[in-house]
Structure 1
Amino acid sequence: MEQQAILVVSFGTSHDGTREKTIGALEREVASAYPSIPIRRAFTSKVILRGLERRGIQVDSVPQALDKLVEEGFSNVAVLSSHLIPGEEYDKLRALIEEYRPRFPSLSLTAPLLHTTGDLLAVAKAVLDRHPVAEGEALVLMGHGTYHPANSIYPALDFVFRDLGREDVFVGTVEGYPEVDSVLRRLQRAGYTKALLVPLMLVAGDHAINDMAGEEPDSWKNQLEGAGIAVRCALEGLGEVPAIRELYLSHLREVL
Structure 2
Amino acid sequence: MPRTLSHFGLRPLLFLLLLLAALSLTGTSHASGEAAPKEGILLVAFGTSVPEAQPAFKAVDAEFKKAFPGAPVVWAYTSQIIRKKLAEQGQPVGGISDGLAQLAKDGVKVVRVQSLHVLAGEEFTALERAVLLDVSKNPGRFESVFMGRPMLESKGDAQELLAAIKADTKSARGKNTALVLMGHGQSHGRADLAFEGVYAVFKSTDKNIHMATVEGARNFDDMLEGLKAAKIKHVVIAPLMLVAGDHARNDLAGDEDDSWATQLKKAGIKVDAHLKGLGETPGAAAILVRHAKESTDDLTKEPRKP
**TM-score after normalising by structure 1:** 0.95
Structure 1 residue 251: Cα displacement: 0.8
Q: What code does the residue aligned with 2:185 have?
A: G
Cα pair 1:10 1:23 within 8 Å, conserved: no
The answer as to 2:166 corresponding to 1:128 is: yes
| Deviation per residue, 1:36-88 (Å, 9 max, x gap) | 11111111111111111111111111111112333444221111111111111
Are 2:291 and 1:251 aligned?
A: yes
Pairing of 1:220-235 with structure 2 (within 5 A): 220-235=260-275
Task: Describe how 1:189-204 pairs up with structure 2 within 5 A.
Answer: 189-204=229-244
- Cross-structure match for 1:100: 134
Asked if residue 212 in structure 1 is aligned to residue 252 in structure 2, the reply is: yes
Residue equivalent to 1:12 = 47
* C-alpha displacement of 1:135: 2.4
Where do 5+ consecutive residues of structure 2 fail to align? 1-34, 297-306
Q: Percent identity?
A: 35
- Amino acid in structure 2 at the alignment position of 1:159: A
Aligned length: 254
Q: Is the radius of gyration larger for structure 1 or structure 2?
A: 2
Match of 1:117 among 137, 151, 155: 155
Q: CA RMSD in A?
A: 1.4
**Counterpart check, 1:49 vs 2:89:** no
* 1:69 maps to amino acid: L
CA contact 2:158–2:202 (8 Å) conserved in 1: no
The equivalent residue for 2:191 is: 150
Which residue does 1:138 correspond to in 2?
Answer: 178
Q: Which amino acid aligns with 1:240?
A: E
CA distance in 1, matches of 2:90, 2:69: 28
Q: State the shift of 1:137 in Å.
A: 1.4
Gaps of 5+ in 1: none
Alignment of 1:36 with 2:78, yes or no, is no
Query: What amino acid sits opposite 1:13 in the alignment?
Result: T
Is the contact made by 1:124 and 1:157 (CA closer than 8 Å) also made in structure 2?
A: no
1:70-109 CA-to-partner distances (Å, cap 9, x unmatched) read 3444221111111111111100111112123334221111
* Aligned position for 1:171: 211
Are residues 1:161 and 2:202 paired? yes
Q: Which runs of 4+ in 1 moved over 4 A?
A: none
TM-superposed CA distance for 1:9, in Å, is: 1.0
Q: Does 37-46 or 217-226 show the bigger shift?
A: 37-46
Q: 1:197 is matched by which residue type in structure 2?
A: I
Contact 1:88 1:148 in 2 (8 A): no
Q: 1:90-149: per-residue Cα shift (whole Å, max 9, x none)?
A: 001111121233342211110100111111111122111211221221110001111343
Q: Distance in 1 between matches of 2:280 and 2:101?
A: 30
SS at match of 1:113: coil
TM-score norm. by structure 2 comes to: 0.80
The one-letter amino acid of 1:105's match is: E
CA distance in 2, matches of 1:68, 1:6: 11
Superposition deviation, residue 3 in structure 1: 2.5
